[in-house]
Amino acid sequence: MVFLASLRQEDGQKKVKRFDIIEHTADVGITAYGANLKEAFANAAYAMFTLIADLENVREDVRRQIEVAAEDRESLLVSWLNELLYIFDVERTIFKRFEVTELGETSLKAEGYGELLDQSRHGLRGGLKAATYHMLKIEKNDGYSVRVIFDT
């Protein structure tokens, strides 16, 4: 329930929806939106971390540079999200804000802001195993929307 409340709050604050959750029988997915592709990628990462924890209680103590390269733009989106899951596992950093500074066809540079994982404070939910290529979609409409299904 907290989860849905935080969605509504996002709506109210920005008047622009940052993401939607996709129900999938075994797993869960997101569609993230942005005025441009950088913003859509950043919102996809934000949406992913809302599935992992309560981001309200996460501070911005850590600033982390992230660079990702991939074969094409779709693969770049999956690789970007999986790079963040890798950092979460290995460095135990939970991110709550992202700035995608450079985004090409096959590479991305970004900064993530967050905090080292604190199990007592961060209201952790079930984890995500990975972002998958299933139903993957990057679409240009008014702005951009990107869709990713996760293996939970």
Neighbours of 27 (CB within 10 A): 16
DSSP letters along 38-64, please?
HHHHHHHHHHHHHHHS-GGG----EEE
Phi and psi for 95 in degrees, rounded to 5?
-95, 150
Q: Which of 17, 59, 92, 121 touches other proteins by CB under 8 A? A: 92
- With binding defined as CB under 8 A, does residue 79 bind other proteins? yes
Q: Which of 19, 117, 145, 146 touches other proteins by CB under 8 A? A: 117
Tell me the sheet residues that pair with 107: 69
Q: What single-letter DSSP state applies at residue 123?
A: -
**Which one, 111 or 118, has the nearer CB to other proteins?**
118
Radius of gyration of the chain from its Cα atoms, rounded to whole angstroms: 14
Q: How far is the CB of 46 from other proteins (least distance, A)?
A: 17
Q: Which of 7, 64, 123, 143 touches other proteins by CB under 8 A? A: 123
C-alpha distance across the termini of the chain, in Å? 19
Q: How far is the CB of 115 from other proteins (least distance, A)?
A: 12
Q: Which of 26, 120, 141, 142 touches other proteins by CB under 8 A? A: 26
**Window 34-73: residues binding other proteins (CB under 8 A):** 52-53, 70-71
**Which one, 99 or 137, has the nearer CB to other proteins?**
137
Q: What angle do CA 35, 4, 136 make, to 5 degrees?
A: 50
Q: Which stretch binds other proteins (CB under 8 A): 5-13, 39-47, 55-63, 87-95?
A: 87-95
